[in-house]
């Protein structure tokens, strides 16, 4: 039988106020649209306001500004997404897999593995790896030799941590590989997305501080340092030897160039290219929004001659 949680219990768990019958109970979480009376739902994005009026949810997490839009039982939250996360962790934590090491994982005997660690099938852990307590290493992930993880790190399936950095020197007519002698050091509470790659350092280590969160298919090159609590969304990448500060957000498919510095609290919008240091907190971007192709084609044609056209326009002006 599923555990049941009352409105009053949940309000206490989240340290928030509520409106409605204290003993209203829910057993699960659902979207506004699909929730039944035994489900809790939430409104974190105003785009879903249209679903609020008709929801059958037993309890809804709402910010104070939307209280008038809904008549049912409510948890009044300053951050509905956060309180939803807290309640989801309360209800579903018990369902999470117990610590185990799958017999189809391949683990070098020369490794240090903490307590409470889960290692799934197909995982490869090479010599010299150190894994802190309560980490979770998902199927087919690879931890190359010497890599170190803090506590409660989650490595999703297919991620590769500690492959050689892309270090090459050109010798007249061919490439010479530069041995990659550093490793990768990952702090506590980090999450590494599926098929994401984090290269080992050339001489010193590639470093992720605590609570760094990487989505899927992210590329982190050698000797990058990423500050605590920074998040990088899917398909983004950072080139070698760059330092990213704490509390940064790098949106999807953005690229950060090599040998530069990004200060704390910098947000990069989607599909942007950063190739110079950013020393002031704030929002930065260069992503170009799609428009109907017939229009874009004409604008693009102008962009390809922009300098000449503007020179001509400025010149004509002066000629008068």
State the angle between helix axes of 306-319 and 293-303 in degrees (0 to 180), rounded to the nearest 10.
Answer: 60
Q: Tell me if 94 contacts a copy of itself by CB under 8 A.
A: no
Task: Rank residues 112 and 299 by Cβ distance to a copy of itself and give the closer one.
Answer: 299
- Residue written as token pair 């030897």: 241
Residues in contact with 195: Cβ distance below 8 Å, sequence separation at least 6, in sequence order:
157, 158, 159, 160, 216, 217
Q: Tell me if 304 contacts a copy of itself by CB under 8 A.
A: yes
Q: Tell me if 140 contacts a copy of itself by CB under 8 A.
A: yes
Q: Tell me if 78 contacts a copy of itself by CB under 8 A.
A: no
Q: Tell me if 317 contacts a copy of itself by CB under 8 A.
A: yes
Q: What binding mask, one character per residue, do residues 264-303 give for a copy of itself by CB under 8 A, x or -?
A: ---xxxxxxxxxx-x---xxxxxxxxxxxxxxxxxxxxxx
Q: Tell me if 263 contacts a copy of itself by CB under 8 A.
A: no
- Least Å distance, CB 177 to a copy of itself, is 7
Residues in contact with 163: Cβ distance below 8 Å, sequence separation at least 6, in sequence order:
142, 144, 197, 199, 200
Q: Which one among 99, 133, 163, 265 touches a copy of itself, defined by CB under 8 A?
A: 163
- Per DSSP, the three-state class of 123 is coil
Q: Tell me if 166 contacts a copy of itself by CB under 8 A.
A: yes
- Residue written as token pair 């919008």: 269
The token pair that represents 236 in the structure block: 């983004």
Q: Tell me if 314 contacts a copy of itself by CB under 8 A.
A: yes
Q: Which one among 76, 160, 226, 244 touches a copy of itself, defined by CB under 8 A?
A: 160
Exposure letters 66-92 (e unless 16+ CB within 10 A, then b) = beeebebbbbbbeebeebbebbeeebe
Cα–Cα distances (Å) from 284 to 29, 265, 295, in that order, read 36, 11, 26
Task: Rank residues 68 and 307 by Cβ distance to a copy of itself and give the closer one.
Answer: 307
Task: Rank residues 24 and 272 by Cβ distance to a copy of itself and give the closer one.
Answer: 272
d(CA 73, CA 58): 7
Q: What binding mask, one character per residue, do residues 24-63 give for a copy of itself by CB under 8 A, x or -?
A: -----xxx--x----------x-x----------------
Say how many residues touch a copy of itself, by CB under 8 A.
122
Q: Tell me if 118 contacts a copy of itself by CB under 8 A.
A: no
- Least Å distance, CB 213 to a copy of itself, is 6
Q: Is 9 exposed, middle or buried (0-12, 13-18, 19+ CB in 10 A)?
A: middle
The token pair that represents 266 in the structure block: 């910098």
Q: Tell me if 99 contacts a copy of itself by CB under 8 A.
A: no
Q: Which one among 10, 237, 242, 263 touches a copy of itself, defined by CB under 8 A?
A: 237
Question: Catalytic residue positions?
Answer: 222
Task: Rank residues 23 and 305 by Cβ distance to a copy of itself and give the closer one.
Answer: 305
């Amino acid at each position: 039988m599923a555990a049941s949680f009352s409105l009053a219990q949940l309000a206490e768990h989240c340290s928030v106020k509520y409106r409605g019958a204290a003993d209203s109970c829910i057993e699960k979480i659902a979207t506004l649209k699909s929730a039944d009376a035994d489900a809790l739902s939430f409104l974190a994005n105003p785009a879903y306001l249209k679903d609020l009026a008709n929801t059958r949810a037993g309890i809804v997490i709402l910010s104070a500004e939307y209280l008038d839009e809904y008549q049912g039982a409510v948890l009044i939250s300053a951050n509905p997404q956060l309180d939803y996360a807290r309640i989801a962790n309360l209800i579903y934590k018990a369902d999470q897999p117990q610590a185990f090491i799958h017999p189809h994982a391949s683990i070098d005997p020369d490794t240090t593995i903490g307590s409470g660690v889960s290692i799934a099938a197909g995982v490869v852990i090479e010599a010299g790896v150190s894994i802190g307590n309560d980490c979770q290493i998902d199927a087919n992930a690879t931890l190359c030799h010497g890599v170190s993880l803090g506590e409660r790190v989650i490595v999703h399936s297919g991620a590769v941590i500690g492959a050689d950095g892309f270090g090459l020197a050109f010798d007249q007519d061919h490439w010479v590989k530069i041995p990659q002698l550093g490793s990768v050091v990952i702090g506590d509470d980090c999450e590494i997305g599926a098929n994401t790659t984090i290269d080992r350092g050339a001489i010193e280590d590639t470093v992720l501080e605590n609570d760094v969160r990487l989505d899927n298919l992210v590329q982190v090159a050698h000797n990058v340092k990423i500050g605590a609590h920074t998040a990088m969304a899917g398909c983004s990448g950072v080139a070698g030897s760059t330092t990213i500060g704490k509390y940064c957000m790098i949106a999807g498919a953005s690229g950060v160039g090599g040998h530069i510095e990004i200060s704390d609290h910098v947000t990069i919008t989607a599909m942007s290219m950063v190739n110079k240091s950013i020393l002031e907190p704030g929002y930065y971007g260069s992503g170009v929004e799609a428009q109907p192709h017939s229009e874009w084609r004409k604008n693009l044609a102008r962009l390809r001659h922009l300098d000449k056209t503007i020179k001509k326009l400025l010149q004509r002006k002066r000629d008068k």
